[in-house]
Amino acid sequence: MKALVIIIVAFCCFVQSLCILGFFNNDVKIIECSTVQAQVSAQKMPELKDLIRDFFGGQKKKNVSKDNRKIMVYPGGYPLGFTMECDGVVIVAIGKVVTEWGEVKPTEGKNIKVGDILYSINGEVIKSANHFNDLINPEANPGEEITAVIKRGGQEINEKFIPVKESATKTYRLGLWVRDNAAGVGTLTYVREDNFRFGALGHPVCDIDTGKIMPVSKGSVYKCNIVGYNKGLRGQPGELRGLFLRSGVKAGTLDNNNNYGVYGKMNEDYINKLGVEPIEVGFRDSAKTGKAKILCTIDGGVPEEYDIEIIKLSYQTKSSNKSMVIRVTDEELISKTGGIVQGMSGSPIIQNGKLIGAVTHVFVADPTKGFGVYIDWMIDN
């Protein structure tokens, strides 16, 4: 039976309070505009020195990227379906196991937390939730102490556990609820002409419960169609609805999920069928305030160009997916979607014929406005 995946676009939600020299109110909620999961976190306010620098000539300082490379890319805007498999499993809850002798918590006193990545057991990397259960229920000597490797941020923790037998299933458990994969819909940003590596979304895919970045071992990319949308209103972000078949047209493979999106390699024949001409990458020194365009798809599978204005550029010597503030000025897009909606994450930002960035967030209080990321921070992943 063919696996049908329908995604209502709503993942990785963020809330941020900003005050940027009158551009925004003191409390501005923003939401990452892609699909699948939902989380909320607090972001730090910009430091005063950065605001003063931006206001008094900071933009001139910004235009020094010292990147003289010429990179040609096929611009995106196409909706894609993503499936991801993890290295290890994400711990989403920790509980007790009901045994014949009562409730037992095998992780009691151990260095393990919700949001950790349970990476391996007895030296074997965990490939799925089912594999995890197999590893703690070996045919030989079940119930013996196991050694696990746990990843937390940049740390690698070694911990020992003794599984206990659950009375209902007669299998050994650790009392852990885990997640091993993710699927969703997002927007393609670019495909490099030289090696067909692609970047999409502009922000990471995070676990719905823990907010942690999903660790990807491999994944697949599929052709997708947008089948509808909900219009964004003030205080109520809109969303695109996408559909793809796991047994449908496979567009490429996925191998990385980080702070600036998901990455992998596109099939050359898929790109050739799109009939898209490559354009040059414009690094952050070429980005200017003023008119620009975004490429995105709000119906079917083919993107259209829509007018925007870049109203703010941030001075950034370190990478961040909030590099610029954009405003949708295209009356057609505003009338249909209200502006930026969830599902547009990764939509390419084109200025003077060059790819300079991608859409990443929408302001909940004003869906015509949002954040974009400089292409600099995406292109080398």
- Point out the residues that are catalytic: 203, 330, 345
What φ, ψ does residue 125 adopt, rounded to 5°?
A: -65, 135
CA dihedral angle for residue 362, residue 295, residue 353, residue 377, rounded to 10 degrees: 50
Give the DSSP letter string of 227-265. EEEE--BTTB--EEEEEEETTS-EEEEEEEEETTEEEEE
The Cα 298–Cα 95 span in angstroms is 42
Q: What is the CA radius of gyration of the chain?
A: 22
- Give the single-character DSSP code of 336: H
The two three-digit tokens of residue 162, written as one number: 């003794």
Burial of residue 332, with CB atoms counted within 10 A of its CB: 0-12 exposed, 13-18 middle, 19 or more buried: exposed
The secondary structure element, H or E, covering residue 358 is strand 354-363
Give the DSSP letter string of 174-233. -SEEEEEEEEEEEEEEEEETTT-EEEEESS--B-TTT-PBPPEEEEEEEE-EEEEEE--B
Handedness of CA 56, 358, 230, 337 (dihedral sign): positive
